[in-house]
A and B are shown apart, each in its own frame.
Chain A
Amino acid sequence: EPEVTQTPSHQVTQMGQEVILRCVPISNHLYFYWYRQILGQKVEFLVSFYNNEISEKSEIFDDQFSVERPDGSNFTLKIRSTKLEDSAMYFCARSGGASDTQYFGPGTRLTVL
């Protein structure tokens, strides 16, 4: 199964601080996604990204969140001013097409204190 790597594996931050989570897809897939999983809850879709544009986003993905692929390789999720409720596991995923299977990374556990 093609791989996705995510860094860091665990990020601890203070409330109000900015965090950047990174995803490095090891393939030439063009569709990227961020999901999050709050402890004990279901995996929730945040955003999809294709051709350097957001193609779909959820209600969770408000102005505090942004995504970009600055160097054509890393795909990043930025949270501008973290809140306690942003504590979750964040998963990056990628696929070869909009309808293709999505492959997930190992996740970044974000803890906001």
Chain B
Amino acid sequence: GAGVSQSPSNKVTEKGKDVELRCDPISGHTALYWYRQRLGQGLEFLIYFQGNSAPDKSGLPSDRFSAERTGESVSTLTIQRTQQEDSAVYLCASSSGDRGYREQYFGPGTRLTVT
């Protein structure tokens, strides 16, 4: 079946502009995660959605970052007033739940470049 998809694949924006990144999880997956990966570094957790529970926003680096999820489907990560340090690949992942062994399936990512 279809995997996790993300759009756009690449985004170049000017400093100070707002951007929206989209994630379509695997159908039926109740859990959705956003991560950020700077060049040559590991993944940095941003936010986590599980079903109808309140999202875990503990990884969001500043109040310029926010995310929403519609039910158990699409999620949007919004970065307001972008800064050059926001340049990174933003990865979305989904899993079938949050208990026991639940492999996360990653999308291809959105490469964000802030000029």
Tell whether A pairs with B: no
Chain B residues near A (Cβ < 8 Å): none
